[in-house]
Structure 1
């Protein structure tokens, strides 16, 4: 006879249409009938519907509005045994590559854990209290599984504040890791893995860098929001006629210049607000324009302003394209879904009087998996358009 579980549980309020009832991995504080004491923060807790039926095992944190995050549809503990199994399974699902995402939070049944690999260095993010508390176990598991030269714990994401966590960055070895050259898809990039944006490089756009490079052959290209130059460098490597990379960050444009020199590629670079630049140089023409801005909407309150921003960017870019030109436009705003983004680009094309053919709908790569029941994990979307 099985022993009855002694694990703590929480229950949904009555008469709710909570998304968790349809398979979403989150439950919100406002949806819970009675909270557990603060002493259970960071622990494994089961969730029940209003009739007491089991909905899954999750990590609990009453400091966060997202009070419960499912990691298993079975009774389970978020402990070293579970972490060992889940991290091993996550790594096994990836095609071995020198630089890639190895763990992607809820999409890999590890809510709040993100692990990126840059050659022999691993970058770990802990975005939930439960993951933060398991740091030692995670370090041991990753060391045993992958034998990295070092692990950088990038515990500096602002979202940690919502979990009641402090911000800090350190390495497993205790050693300082200076900026280093890392080869990604045949190109050298100088990456700051300790203080650079996110975990040092936008790994989620690697496939698009390669895809756009093929389309850029013999073309004049504008790389908007160029960051470290991934789109432009791959395009020049693929024999683009010319590339102009624009970014508002002086550090980013300086990095593009350094990366171009290292790879013996000739790229023009300008430091400017792209919105202002597009207005000032509206009469310039290109065969290919890439728009890959940072997130414009991190929550629902920002959606309207974000859509206006996307509309203006795409409208101005479309007007600058030569007949037969290509626009590759992307959004990483989690709060804006693919349908809304497509609609705003359609509206921009109509206002620009530039009929377009959709060459491709794009999304994030396989190492950033998308959970069917969690739309928030489908954050990256894009369109490649041919313009008449």
Structure 2
């Protein structure tokens, strides 16, 4: 954030972030002793509304015992994000550099970097940097800030990413929903240049004015493209890529329906792996155009796309007597908060019920949920209820999660968000 940005005055510069102490309500300290990183406003006896966004704070229990150290955002209901649980560790640029380096090293524990592929390098709470997501697409980075409290360190974080990874371009985003809840300005897609921070010559980072946002990369044997400037989140979705490949193994020679296919996802990999035919359904024409372009780029002809609401499409197909050997459901998040869990489960139940109606005995259902608030047990119980209501036996073949570059923090169960169940419906 530049000195001329009027919003910059809302955030305290890192050089001026002395820690202050905030007290919790009685009995509210236990999750943080277990290193959970989120402190909501209702847990605090002192809400810190008079502090600057980005101020370092020490959290104490109601009796005055030190608990953890974090950063406050008085504009957010998620008031404090905790990063340090040892009192002798400071929150400063050194901490962010160490956490970034550790996250990148974590991805190299079981694989070397494929410079033509894509991967998630930093996954917020799971990499102990709550509020930061970094995806690498070939030689470019997509960065998403989901915490207003991190913005004072924005330039330091981006500068270190550039130093250690040497990407051709870095694109930064803050989505509208996050901006609303965090009290910050949305950022649709900014091409970051280290020159803006006065660090290195422009030639070393490429020319942002010539960058269109499109980056080509390889995944599951396909040549793909992502729009870092205009695509969702950091540009695409990487968490399902291993599931795409595994699910494709059930699709050879079979007729496949890929519901909420976005830019091709499951359907393209299934078609490439020898499905008899694939129908992709999504409500976004932009996503479907990208999917069709990817199919053409890879010489895939056994796939077609339909623009339609997922519920309407499944209902219409059922009424027409359509049948598929494999149905894939990969809907967007239905529950963004605890209050929406019940309605989300009802939506999942309806969607899966309509899908089961399209499957003959022995058909394969690949059903997914990216709603972190809906637990794996809740999702399984939903599927059990679908089988009971439809009078069908549902046999779970594989109970899967995201690819390994989306780790789960034991202290933050919300990071175990993605469920991918591969089932046989009898």
Identify the TM-score tier after normalising by the shorter chain. Answer: over 0.9
Query: What is the CA–CA distance in structure 2 between the aligned matches of 1:337 and 1:248, rounded to whole Å?
Result: 26
Residue 153 (str. 1) matches residue 172 (str. 2): yes
Correspondence for 1:7 = 19
Equivalent of 1:275, from 301, 311, 321? 311
What is the aligned counterpart of 1:170 among 187, 190, 193?
190
1:375 and 2:413 are equivalent in the alignment: yes
Q: State whether residues 47 and 56 of structure 1, in contact with CA within 8 Å, keep that contact through their aligned partners in structure 2.
A: yes
Contact 2:32 2:68 in 1 (8 A): no
* Aligned partner of 2:72 among 45, 51, 60: 60
CA contact (8 A) 1:224 1:274 kept: yes
Please state if 1:50 is matched with 2:88: no
Residues 130-141 of structure 1 aligned to structure 2 (within 5 Å): 130-141=149-160
Question: Cα gap change, 1:43/1:77 in structure 2, threshold over 3 Å: closer, same or farther?
Answer: farther
Give the SS at the match of 2:225: strand
2:295 aligns with one of 255, 260, 281: 260
Shift of 1:328: 0.5
**Does 2:266 correspond to 1:231?**
yes
How far apart are the structure 1 equivalents of 2:349 and 2:172?
Answer: 37
Match of 1:207 in 2: 242
Helix, strand or coil: the match of 1:323? coil
Query: Could you tell me how far apart the structure 2 residues matched to 1:324 and 1:333 are?
Result: 28
User: Contact conserved, 2:213 with 2:230, CA < 8 A, in 1?
Assistant: no
CA gap of 1:268–1:35, structure 2 versus 1, over 3 A, is closer
Structure 1 residue runs of 4 or more that deviate by more than 4 Å after TM superposition:
none
| In structure 1, C-alpha distance between the alignment counterparts of 2:26 and 2:397, rounded to whole Å | 47
> 2: CA distance between counterparts of 1:17 and 1:134?
27
What is the match of residue 182 of structure 1? 217
| 1:131-188 residue CA offsets vs partner (Å, 9 max, x unmatched) | 2111111121011100000100112342122221111231123434333433222212
CA RMSD across the alignment? 1.6
TM-score (norm 2): 0.86
Q: How many residues align?
A: 383
Q: TM-score when scaled to structure 1? A: 0.94
Which residue does the alignment assign to 1:77? 90
Residue in 1 that maps onto 2:404: 366
Distance 1:100 1:181 in 2: 13
Cα distance in 1 between the residues matched to 2:64 and 2:415? 28
Task: Please give the secondary structure, in 2, of the residue aligned with 1:255.
Answer: helix
Residue in structure 2 matched with residue 26 of structure 1 by the alignment? 38
Distance (whole Å) between structure 1 residues aligned to residue 28 and residue 136 of structure 2:
41
- Number of the residue aligned with 1:305: 343
CA distance in 1, matches of 2:71, 2:374: 26
User: Which structure 1 segments of 5+ residues have no match?
Assistant: 1-5
